């Protein structure tokens, strides 16, 4: 090989290394079941100083929507940048390679372009991971999710099942994981529970990355809270006065909605000690107390991660994303610890992006955004080549100008009832939902978000809205054809934990 060619190759390697070193890192933080109930979203009860500080250095997306209000399908949609209509996954159980074996995910796209990609905690749904997305296999903490009371309850349930020689049910009151109380204030330190341990390991990983700044990283860190059971160290309970926590006023089902659509999951009622039927106010307040404490526990871990970025010097070149996998109901519409539908409270999520040196730091935007937009956004921000498979749109124009719009609507899916598949379209003013089933009449829901932000009244049957239904229906058909849903075999379905 000639000297000239060797020099050319050497210079090419140096140039590629230099370009890689210039690319920003990504710290992607996910939280489970955290609805947009933070100080930076205008909530005056929750204590979220660290996420509020992140918002002051980033942008808060006030109208962000996931593509399904269920953990695994939502995460798969976000991580692939594809709608559930494309992934074909609407339930918990199947991996994305089941339906799309040759797909390139968002983290895989980063890995293919020179990034060291790692997953710590719950990023994909636990047990439904994707090795091709990561440089090394995903890591999960072995620390307990529950405190001593919950841990002992699980052990007792396992012993009872073994002594009786029966098979433990996957769901319902008798299932092992539902033996724990719905909430618990634990006398322990942050790192004694799963989420604190996840933060410890993420900080260690950041310090390792600081030793090789020439190698960009994509580090995904997923916290289990505030998914029920709401378990956190007692110090986070102590910062709240239970009697001052406001309760939902709309404790009734959406009026005028199809009966099968106006439902949510019943998982919450399977946990130990949860009363049947309506919750007594005292118990409901304890639930809210536990949920807020769980948010504050996650908030503290986020603060630790951001502090580690600053301590290591990585903050100046690291994009931070905070995202939750869907919304949540805590008493609204009579639903507790629940999602499992196509309404605003289930599909609207928490979403913050902080980019070093961004000119609109501290701003919030009303622009409608979707979880599928994250993949093309980070791809553009990090200077990677576009991935034609991503179906979302880059949010860089919104980061540059909070008044900009890249979507005229957000779309969400959910299979419900006896074979119906619902598709929701959220526009500036309306939430329009079509429920289709082969051989059955299409059911429609319509909510005026300007006057009914919590979807209390379905106005689809009002004569004055006939033209609105026609226009919105046409818009939906232009984007997505009528779909059907066929349940997978029971063997691949899993519970939501």
Using alpha carbons, select from 74, 134, 82 the residue that is nearest to residue 103.
82
Write out pLDDT tens, residues 135-158. Answer: 999 999 999 999 999 999 999 999
Structure tokens at 470: 């026609």
Segment 65-92 shows an average pLDDT of 97
What CATH number does the domain containing 305 carry? 3.40.720.10
CA dist., res. 9 & res. 3, Å (int): 10
Q: Which residues contact 337 (CB under 8 A, 6 or more apart)?
A: 33, 182, 228, 267, 268, 287, 291, 328, 329, 330
- In 150-267, DSSP assigns E strands to 183-186, 217-223, 230-233
Segment 249-277 shows an average pLDDT of 94
- Domain-located, residue 1: no
Judge whether residue 286 has pLDDT over 50: yes
Judge whether residue 161 has pLDDT over 70: yes
DSSP strand pairing (25-31 vs 329-330): unpaired
| pLDDT, position 488 | 75
What strands lie across the sheet with 410-416, from one edge to the other?
Answer: 410-416, 420-426, 430-436, 443-448
- Domain-located, residue 95: yes
| pLDDT, position 466 | 97
Judge whether residue 126 has pLDDT over 60: yes
CB 226 within 8 A of CB 295: yes
Given the residues 40, 109, 116, 125, select the one marked as catalytic.
Answer: 125
- Domain-located, residue 484: no
Percent of the chain's residues with pLDDT above 90:
87
CB 431 within 8 A of CB 445: yes
- Domain-located, residue 266: yes
- Domain-located, residue 164: yes
| pLDDT, position 9 | 41
| pLDDT, position 174 | 80
Give the SS3 label for residue 1.
Answer: coil
- Domain-located, residue 2: no
Segment 14-39 shows an average pLDDT of 81
| pLDDT, position 4 | 54
CB 473 within 8 A of CB 432: yes
Strand-pair partners of 415: 421
- Domain-located, residue 244: yes
Please indicate whether residue 40 is annotated as part of the active site.
Answer: no
CA dist., res. 97 & res. 167, Å (int): 30
| pLDDT, position 496 | 57
Judge whether residue 93 has pLDDT over 50: yes
| pLDDT, position 459 | 98
Among the residue ranges 273-277, 345-349, 362-366, 403-407, the one predicted with the least confidence is 273-277
Question: What domain range includes position 46?
Answer: 17-407
| DSSP notation for 73-101 | HHHHHHHHT--HHHH---SSS--HHHH-T
Number of domains in the chain: 1
| pLDDT, position 492 | 56
Orientation of helix 71-80 relative to helix 374-381, angle to 10°: 40
CA dist., res. 20 & res. 216, Å (int): 6
Strand-pair partners of 422: 414, 435
Segment 313-318 shows an average pLDDT of 98
| pLDDT, position 16 | 42
Confidence grade of residue 165 (pLDDT, cut at 50, 70, 90): confident
Confidence grade of residue 491 (pLDDT, cut at 50, 70, 90): low
| pLDDT, position 265 | 87
- Domain-located, residue 98: yes
Using alpha carbons, select from 214, 205, 191 the residue that is nearest to residue 27.
205
What strands lie across the sheet with 351-354, from one edge to the other?
Answer: 116-121, 217-223, 25-31, 318-324, 351-354, 59-65, 363-370
Given the residues 71, 117, 198, 382, select the one marked as catalytic.
Answer: 71
Q: Which residues contact 160 (CB under 8 A, 6 or more apart)?
A: none
Judge whether residue 493 has pLDDT over 60: no
Please indicate whether residue 71 is annotated as part of the active site.
Answer: yes
Write out pLDDT tens, residues 225-250. Answer: 999 999 999 999 999 999 999 999 99
Percent of the chain's residues with pLDDT above 70:
94
Instruction: Note the pTM of the prediction, 2 decimals.
Output: 0.94
> Which residue in the block uniquely carries the two structure tokens 């009002």?
462
Mean residue pLDDT across the chain: 93
Write out pLDDT tens, residues 31-76. Answer: 999 999 999 999 999 999 999 999 999 999 999 999 999 999 999 9
């Amino acid at each position: 090989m000639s000297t000239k060619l060797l020099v050319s190759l050497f210079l090419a390697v140096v140039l590629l290394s230099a370009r890689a070193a210039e690319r920003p890192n990504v710290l992607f933080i996910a939280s489970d079941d955290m609805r947009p109930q933070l100080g930076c979203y205008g909530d005056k009860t929750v204590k979220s100083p660290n996420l509020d500080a992140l918002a002051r250095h980033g942008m808060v997306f006030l109208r962000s929507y996931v593509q399904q209000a269920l953990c695994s399908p939502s995460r798969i949609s976000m991580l692939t940048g594809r709608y559930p209509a494309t992934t074909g996954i609407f339930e918990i159980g199947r991996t994305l390679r089941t339906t799309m074996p040759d797909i390139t995910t968002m983290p895989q796209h980063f890995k293919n372009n020179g990034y060291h990609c790692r997953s710590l905690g719950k990023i994909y749904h636990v047990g439904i991971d994707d090795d091709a997305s990561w440089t090394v296999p995903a890591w999960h903490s072995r620390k307990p999710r529950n405190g001593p009371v919950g841990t002992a309850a699980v052990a007792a349930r396992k012993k009872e099942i073994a002594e009786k020689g029966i098979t433990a049910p996957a769901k319902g009151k008798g299932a092992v994981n539902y033996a724990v109380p719905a909430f618990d204030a634990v006398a322990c330190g942050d790192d004694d529970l799963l989420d604190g341990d996840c933060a410890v390991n993420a900080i260690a990983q950041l310090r390792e990355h600081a030793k090789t700044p020439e190698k960009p990283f994509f580090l995904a860190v997923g916290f289990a809270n505030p998914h029920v059971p709401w378990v956190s160290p007692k110090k986070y309970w102590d910062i709240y006065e239970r009697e001052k926590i406001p309760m939902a006023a709309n404790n009734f089902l959406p009026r005028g909605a199809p009966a099968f659509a106006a439902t949510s999951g019943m998982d919450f009622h399977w946990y130990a000690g949860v009363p049947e039927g309506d919750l007594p106010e005292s118990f409901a307040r304890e639930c809210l107390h536990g949920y807020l404490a769980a948010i504050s526990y996650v908030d503290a871990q986020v603060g630790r991660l951001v502090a580690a970025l600053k301590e290591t010097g990585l903050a100046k070149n690291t994009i931070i994303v905070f995202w939750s996998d869907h919304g949540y109901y805590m008493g609204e519409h009579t639903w507790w610890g629940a999602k499992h539908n196509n309404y605003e409270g289930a599909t609207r999520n928490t979403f913050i992006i902080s980019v070093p040196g961004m000119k609109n730091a501290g701003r919030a935007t009303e622009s409608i955004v979707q979880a599928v937009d994250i993949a093309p956004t980070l791809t553009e921000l990090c200077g990677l080549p576009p991935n034609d498979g991503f179906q979302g749109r880059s949010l860089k124009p919104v980061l540059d100008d909070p008044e900009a719009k890249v979507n005229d609507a957000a779309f969400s899916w959910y299979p419900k009832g006896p074979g119906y598949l619902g598709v929701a379209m959220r526009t500036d003013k309306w939430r329009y939902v079509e429920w289709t089933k082969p051989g059955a009449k299409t059911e429609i829901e319509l909510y005026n978000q300007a006057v009914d932000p919590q979807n209390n009244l379905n106005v689809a049957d009002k004569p004055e809205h006939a033209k609105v239904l026609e226009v919105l229906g046409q818009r939906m058909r232009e984007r997505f054809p009528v779909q059907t849903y066929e349940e997978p075999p029971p063997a691949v379905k899993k519970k939501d934990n």
